[in-house]
Chains A and B, each alone.
Chain A
Amino acid sequence: MGATGGLTLVFGLPLAVALFFFGLAAYERRMGLATGPGFFQRNGLAVGLYLVLAVGFWVFFVIVLPQFSMVDMSFRPKLPPAQMGGPKDVFTLENYRYFLFGSTTSTSSWNWTHLKAFVLTIGVSIAITLFNFALCYPIAFHMAQSAGAARLRILLLLLIIPYWVNEILRAFAFRVLLSSGGIINKLLLGAGVIGEPIDFLGADVGLYMGLSYAYLLMMVFPLYSAIESLDKNQIEAARDLGAPWWHIHLFVVMPHAKPGIASGCTLVFMLCAGALAAPLVLAGPRTLWFTPIVYDRFYQAFNWPQGAAYAFILLVTCVVFVLLVLKMFRLSLGEITR
């Protein structure tokens, strides 16, 4: 695409979108679909204009444009900069074909290395999400329903303070803890529980622990705020009617907290599948996570279009998966933001 064409798109598209929504708002007002004071009447012209511009800038330049250009790039061949926009720069599915079938010179029919890494990433992310939920639900329930104000403050601090430490540093800390000569192995050896050190890192225990820990808060807080809004009397009413504790959790607390559970699980799953630091530092030598492959496409193979295609595949898969799960639990996307 030419330089002027590109510029027209960059500035024309947001303008067109903005005009479209202004038109829509004006139409709704005229048809009586929207009532009450208008957006600018409520916020004032200056603040209203600032909000529109700021949010518009954020959405367009930070979210839409980069994603759009990435998707665009993923459908183009890898070319030296001089040939970009030239006659060879045509749309192609080559990058997606490569993900499924690998190099044209390879002997095997499927690109097993990458496909396996992809399936492993999604599968392990699901497992970690479930594990995190099981771990965080009791904590969140305790914080929301039974802890006193002082206990709640301490718990919140204990949860938050570790996150002051850099993510990569935390990953290395797990490495130190779990390595063959690490503290845990030394303790187990010293206590005589095991005869020789356990290869935690090789067995990916470190990876799972690191990932679970990295996104713990993303699970705890949505759960906490959802459970917190549950009327204590409902729990007592269920108990009074004879319900055992597990029944109360399954049929009273969890249905109420469903939006929080969904939003926590979505966050953890998405962040897990897209994690880079923990897999790079903690994954065992035989484990290939998908995000490092994407990273390598960009910075090792210098094949940006292919990297873009891989990243897009991961993104679409995650989004589709999340939407399917939400559908399964009869939740709308709007509900999980509550």
Chain B
Amino acid sequence: MAAAVELEGVNVTFGDFVAVRDANLTIEAGEFFSFLGPSGCGKTTLLRTISGFIEPTRGQVRIGGKDMVGIGPNKRPTALIFQNLALFPMMSVADNIGYGLRVRGVPKHERDEKVKNLLIQVALSEHGHKKVSELSGGQKQRVAIARALAVEPSVLLLDEPLSALDLKLRQHMRAELRAIQKRVGITFIYITHDQGEALTMSDRIAVMNAGVIEQVGNGRSVYAEPRTPFVAAFVGENNQIRGRVTAVADGMATLDTPLGALSGRNPVGLKAGEEALLFVRPEALSLVPTGTPNGSTVGFDGEALDVAYEGSVTHVTLRVRTGQKITATVGGGVVPVSGETLHIGFKPQDGLLLARAASH
């Protein structure tokens, strides 16, 4: 099957500002693909470039193998779901869903039939005659999805459509979106700053920062195998410790840090003498009273400042010798007391060393 969307050297600049820099990406047909990044990272610009509202300054966007240059949003096989949904308030729910069909000149009886089916699909069959303003947030969401699906796009683009919903509904809609995607089988391209959304729904994720796609991979790989300090810090909680590489051996490296010598994996091939950052996830840290032997770990001491007991886990914030704060998430069992001095340890294979960019 042809790739759904291909980006080749796409650059988008507004005056001097580079919103998207050199995006190269292939999104497969039928994939649930997310762009994850903080606000202002260029992910919305990229989405608007794919949908045709923005022409790339340089580079090429291909949809279904066809170059999209000069093809407006109304002629592309994409449908966009806006952040604020942008439903038409003066039309009924059914008219909203049927708008794209009406524009295409689909005869009324055929249109009604299709709208009816879509209403059933999104569980709104009782609400077709209602005004949009009479619906709840989740229902509006589903109208927006049905309206976009009505035109049978080959790619559905979603611009943070869940951000306006409350937490519970958001979690419910995640599952629902995923289910709809599986059912209709078309490509979903999803924009979000919420890593939870990206991780739970996506087949693959592109993490973006400052207009650059930093890493592309499935949820597991961007979480467990980040390739840049930004991805390591942005996706999930992470502790970072600066240092200089002193020794390298079989994929591992030792780092000289203000907290002593620490080791971790070295996937990017750092060499001795290079500046580096060590990342350790809170859940990879173990806490034991100082002086207790702690197996095959490396570590340092810290004073527990804040202990948040959450039942199954406990979040502990500790202050280490340098004044830096380290967070650890430990399972049940012994709950540390704040003020206590503890040994913070981790297995070297849970530590991850990444190159420190000059600006960091």
Contact = CB atoms under 8 A, between A and B. Distances in A.
A230 to B, nearest CB: 10
Interface string B84-109: 10111110000000011001100000
A93 interface: no
B74 interface: yes
Nearest to B89: A256
B99 A240 contact: no
Interface string B133-162: 000000000000001100100000000000
A243 B103 contact: yes
A150 to B, nearest CB: 15
Given A240-B79, A242-B104, A244-B103, A234 B86 contact: yes
Interface in A185-202: none
**Chain A interface, >50% SS class:** helix
Contact of B86 (A233, A242, A255): A233
A238 B86 CA distance: 9
Contacts of B151: 241-242
B100 A242 contact: yes
Contacts of B84: 231, 233
Contacts of B100: 241-243
A220 B58 CA distance: 39
Contacts of B99: 238, 241, 243, 251
A24 interface: no
B136 to A, nearest CB: 20
A327 interface: no
A247 interface: yes
B74 A244 contact: yes
Contacts of A238: 88, 99, 103
Contacts of A233: 82-84, 86
B102 to A, nearest CB: 8
Nearest to A258: B90
Contact of B51 (A231, A240, A247, A252): A240
B86 A237 contact: yes
B81 to A, nearest CB: 9
B5 to A, nearest CB: 15
Given A234-B88, A252-B88, A240 B80 contact: yes
B78 interface: yes
A210 B52 CA distance: 44
A236 B75 contact: no
Nearest to B150: A241
Interface in B248-267: none
Interface string B57-76: 00000000000000011110
Nearest to A238: B99
A140 B51 CA distance: 27
Nearest to B78: A240
A239 interface: yes
A241 B86 contact: no
B53 A236 contact: yes
A184 B99 CA distance: 48
Interface in A242-262: 242-244, 247, 251-252, 255-256
Contacts of A251: 99
B80 A237 contact: yes
B75 A242 contact: yes
A243 B52 CA distance: 14
Nearest to B53: A236
A239 B86 contact: no
Given A242-B75, A243-B103, A247-B103, A255 B82 contact: no
A252 B78 CA distance: 20
Interface in B27-68: 51-53
A240 B80 CA distance: 7
Nearest to B79: A240
Contacts of A256: 89-90
B99 to A, nearest CB: 6
Contacts of B89: 256
A193 to B, nearest CB: 39
Contacts of A240: 51-53, 73-74, 78-80
Contacts of B73: 236, 239-240
B140 to A, nearest CB: 13
A242 B90 contact: no
Contact of B90 (A236, A239, A243, A255): A255
A42 to B, nearest CB: 29
A331 B74 CA distance: 32
B72 A241 contact: no
B350 to A, nearest CB: 45
A267 B295 CA distance: 86
Contacts of A242: 74-75, 100, 103-104, 151
Nearest to A247: B103
A242 B75 CA distance: 6
Contacts of A237: 80, 82, 86-88
A231 B52 CA distance: 19
A81 to B, nearest CB: 58
Contacts of A244: 74, 103
Contacts of A241: 74, 79, 99-100, 103, 147-148, 151
A72 B75 CA distance: 65
Contacts of A247: 103
A231 B88 CA distance: 10
A236 B52 CA distance: 10
8 contacts: A234-B88, A236-B86, A238-B88, A238-B103, A239-B72, A240-B78, A240-B79, A242-B74
Given A236-B82, A236-B86, A240-B80, 10 more contacts: A236-B73, A237-B86, A241-B100, A241-B103, A241-B148, A242-B100, A243-B74, A243-B99, A247-B103, A255-B90
Interface of A: 231, 233-234, 236-244, 247, 251-252, 255-256
Pick the 9 closest A-B CB pairs, nearest first: A233-B86, A241-B100, A237-B86, A255-B90, A243-B103, A242-B74, A240-B80, A233-B82, A240-B73
